[in-house]
A and B are shown apart, each in its own frame.
Chain A
Amino acid sequence: MNSASPQFVSSRRMSVFDPIHQISMWGEGFKSNGNLSASMPLIDEADMKLDSQSEDASHGILGAPNKYDQEANKPTDKIQRRLAQNREAARKSRLRKKAYVQQLESSRLKLMQLEQELERARQQGMYIGGGLDSNHLGFAGSVNSGITTFEMEYGHWVNEQNRQITELRTALNAHIGDIELRILVDVMMNHYAEIFRMKSAAAKADVFYVMSGMWKTTAERFFLWIGGFRPSELLKVLGPLIEPLTDQQRLDIYNLGQSCQQAEDALSQGMDKLRQTLADSVAAGQLMEGTYIPQMTSAMENLEVLVSFVNQADHLRQETLQQMSRTLTIRQAARCLLALGEYFQRLRALSSLWSNRPREPA
């Protein structure tokens, strides 16, 4: 309780007679309401010696100070005061440093999280400024201006698509007339034509990029067939959504689906042949030195054909859409396009949900 060391006696006494001064010396360090004993935990070990006597101050019952004592204490008071101020300054400095380090740690965590999100977004095919990660090899964003342009235009295309879908939905719900509806349908059909044109240009810039559907979200890519959706699959999905149909329409759509399937199969078989030819030309001459480069030339020529495949597949998609619109009334066509647009919106939303799903902490 009582510190036996004589050097603290005067301080103790001082603290009894000048509690307010004592409190102000410790300053903002006190988190309590000025109760000296309660402030004990804030003071670290270096200060323990002096601090322990503060405890006594609140408990101690001392007599009136001797006038002599007060005068004799003055020079020591100053020194003690200065020492205490230094300690306080040091303590504040330590606290500031601690706060700064904590801030650094949490910023570091945040940075790691952001980098992870970025990586995920990249994998989903979104264009992120290529300069952020120079170690990321082989991604179109860093070198190919044709692809950079495509990705930027695709972003605009999707926004415009969403706008058109909303407009179409509103129009159908408002039961607008056929003439106005036709305009909206034509606008949307032209918009699809636009994406196919964009893809064709992108295929010339980097056919593998288009073939792999790199600009699409993950769920969309799951359904990928030669750089896009498979028309026959889409018809199966959309068919029930555009009922009611006449029997003739149902038959026409069924036949359309069959034709799509046949055309798709033919293209798929062509792709198989291309893969075989490519594999052969890459493998050829492996056991013989000096013949490596000529084989690469023929392999390169094979790859040029991929552009044709992308174009033919997109052409098939386009033709299917147009044949659908020929089979349907304008109102049905509008419902069909709305269903189609919403379907892809949902696929994209699914991709987002999936990539943002809460995961078990590592």
Chain B
Amino acid sequence: MHQALPGSPSTAGGSGGIMFKMVSENPVIVIGTRGCCMCHVVQKLLQGLGVNPPVYEVDEGDQSDVAQELSRKIVGGGDDGGVQFPAVFVGGKYLGGLEKVMAKHISGELVPILKDAGALWL
């Protein structure tokens, strides 16, 4: 399975394509700031459920640009307050930030969503 991938030096412009490609190709992917502890939390949560998502790391300075790109192209602008980092994408769609993901897990919705996207079996 995938391990954490280093983000490329320039972000939104050059690697934008790679990033979107990864979002559409992976059942689950986490996009977060490099070295962010909250990103680590989301990663550990998903790993604890048996999912080992790739983590696409973004440099701190590029955060807002990347968030905007993601908002426009994937989330579709109709989201509540835009993309929060760390951002979790399931089945090519934006699921939410850490808070949303934990809420979905507590309510029991997360595991079915992951299964539907093919990120979990059994």
Contact = CB atoms under 8 A, between A and B. Distances in A.
Interface stretch (B22-30, B62-70, B104-112): B104-112
| Interface magnitude class on chain A | 20 to 34
Interface string B13-50: 00000000000000000000001111011101100110
A269 B102 contact: no
Given A263-B45, A265-B44, A265-B48, A315 B102 contact: yes
Interface in A242-269: 252, 255-256, 259-260, 262-263, 265-267, 269
Contact of B37 (A255, A256, A265, A274): A274
Q: Is the interface of A mostly helix, strand, loop or mixed?
A: helix
Interface residues of B, number: 19
B41 A259 contact: no
Given A263-B106, A315-B102, A270 B48 contact: no
Contact of A270 (B41, B99, B105, B107): B41
B4 interface: no
Contacts of B42: 266
A323 B107 contact: yes
B12 interface: no
A274 B40 CA distance: 10
Closest 4 CB pairs of A and B: A270-B41, A266-B45, A266-B44, A319-B106
27 contacts: A256-B106, A256-B108, A259-B106, A259-B108, A263-B102, A263-B106, A265-B44, A266-B42, A266-B48, A267-B41, A269-B40, A269-B41, A270-B38, A270-B40, A270-B41, A270-B44, A273-B40, A277-B35, A308-B38, A309-B37, A312-B102, A315-B99, A315-B103, A316-B106, A319-B102, A319-B106, A323-B106
Interface of B: 35-38, 40-42, 44-45, 48-49, 98-99, 102-103, 105-108
